[in-house]
Structure 1
Amino acid sequence: MSAAPSAFADAGSPSAQRAAQLVEKATGTADLAPDAPVAGSPARALTATAAGTATVTAPATSVGAVSAGLPTGGTLSLGLPGTAAVTGSRQADGTVVYPDAAKDADLAVQPTKEGGARTLVTLKDSSAPTTWRFPLALPEGAAAQLQVDGSILVSRGDEVLGSFDAPWATDAAGRPVPTSYRLEGATLVQTVEANAATAFPVVADPWWKPTSWHVPKFAKCVAKNSMGGAAAGIVGGAFAGGVGAGPGGFIGALGGAANGAVTC
């Protein structure tokens, strides 16, 4: 059973302000979505897209999940890796922070203007964990697959729903820190490879970006660019995996097209 939530975090508290400053130094704030308040959440964003309205809701506490309503229907959620139930606090520019929500770490959520969300971990010092586990729940019939560029593509039938961008992490000096994703059942796992040269704190995130396009529309392009590769994913919340050519390579090429890596 999780711990009872603490009192609502004060947006003006030193710990909340500091947590937001560290995150916003790494990410900037220009792409953060305006708030559309809803009861029970520190922040919600509604974004109009060509396919419909995308809704992102930050959880009330750090043991909840970021909920992303997809423009074409269904909801994707990404659980926060908090170990203490810290209540979220929305800062002036739109970042929701959960100070000290895990060992030597802060958590944060940033709804973004394209209808997506960054889910951020700030490692305060070298004693912070370097592996972070985010429970992932997909819409019915959807699948998540790891791509060759390190991103994770989410699709449902012949429709690409969106992706988690290739992982990134940056240290206090603005230098990139090696990081990677893997899928373990219905969990997205991010590993941050800090070393003796890393300047703490380090900020890292899975960044969800929705989209909506169909495989047949890109079939000619993908056929030209696809290649065999490893793929592992979850289907509607249940684990499914595959290695080699075929669907994995095909979806890999789709991921490249979605992220601009494939030219047609």
Structure 2
Amino acid sequence: MRHARDEVTAAIEAATGVLAISGRSEPPEYENPDVSWGELASEGVWAPTRDGQRIHIGVAGTSEDRAATIVRPSLRVFAGLETDTDVMGQTTAAGVRFVTVLNGPDAPEEFRFPVRLGDGLSLDTTPSGGYDVVHERYGATVGRFYAPWGCDSLYRTIPAEYRLEGTTIVMTVRHRDADALYPVIADPHYVR
């Protein structure tokens, strides 16, 4: 058990160290009762939309499904979800973040977040590279996946972008060609 706890501590310290350097305003952690997390990474999270529905966002790894280590009700860590990769699930006042921590050059460059949408909802690309969750009947945006960003431990920008495969958002973080100083952090972020 000590090994798992060490992995969680290392993931939190890596993410905190990089995010502290950024100097940008990060969304604060918040114990949001409208957000429900599953126990396993594949079970992901149910998050609210502005029209009162909920969407499901999974966290897919290529290795075995990982149970979350719950640090606080608003923070959980999926340690070792991929090779050299940890994912921190964070609840915010308006949604959820998936702080993806790439610990070395062997970490993959693609990460999958399967999305299940409520009735009459669809994903539309935004000009910034994110996705709006749109109510098809009214054309109203009821949720948003902000465009991903990536940075290394010196807060140098690492190219990151999304593409859609069906209803799975695939985040690509091009850390191997960026001469990155690890850890590299990437941040899928959903808000209602």
Same fold (TM over 0.5): yes
Match of 1:213 in 2: none
Structure 2 distance, partners of 1:94, 1:151, is 24
- CA apart distance, 1:204: 0.9
Go from structure 1 to structure 2 and tell me whether the alpha carbon gap of 1:59 and 1:22 turns closer, same or farther (over 3 Å shift): farther
Counterparts of 1:1-264 in structure 2, within 5 Å, are 13-27=5-19, 31-34=28-31, 45-46=32-33, 55-82=34-61, 83-92=63-72, 94-113=74-93, 115-156=94-135, 157-158=137-138, 159-194=140-175, 195-210=177-192
Question: 1:25 and 1:209 mapped to 2: Cα distance?
Answer: 24
The CA distance in 2 between the partners of 1:84 and 1:119, in whole Å, is: 19
The Cα of 1:199 is off from its aligned counterpart by 0.9
Change beyond 3 A, Cα 1:58–1:186: same
| Pairwise CA distance, 1:182 | 0.9
RMSD of aligned residue pairs (Cα, Å): 2.3
Identity of aligned residues (%): 26
Please tell me the residue identity of whatever aligns with 2:29: L
Which has the greater radius of gyration?
1
Q: Please say if residues 77 and 88 of structure 2, whose CA atoms lie closer than 8 Å, have aligned partners that are also in contact.
A: yes
Query: How far did residue 22 of structure 1 move?
Result: 1.9
Evaluate the alpha carbon distance shift between residue 93 and residue 137 of structure 1 in structure 2; reply closer, same or farther with a 3 A threshold.
closer
- Name the amino acid aligned to 1:192: V
* Shift of residue 71, structure 1, vs aligned partner: 4.5
Q: Could you tell me which amino acid in structure 2 is paired with residue 175 of structure 1?
A: R
- CA apart distance, 1:178: 0.7
- Specify the SS of the correspondent of 1:13: helix
Q: Which runs of 5+ in 2 are unaligned?
A: 21-25
- Counting matched residue pairs gives 183
Contact 2:158 2:178 in 1 (8 A): no
Contact 1:180 1:191 in 2 (8 A): yes
Are the counterparts in 2 of residues 151 and 165 from structure 1 also a CA contact under 8 Å? Answer: yes
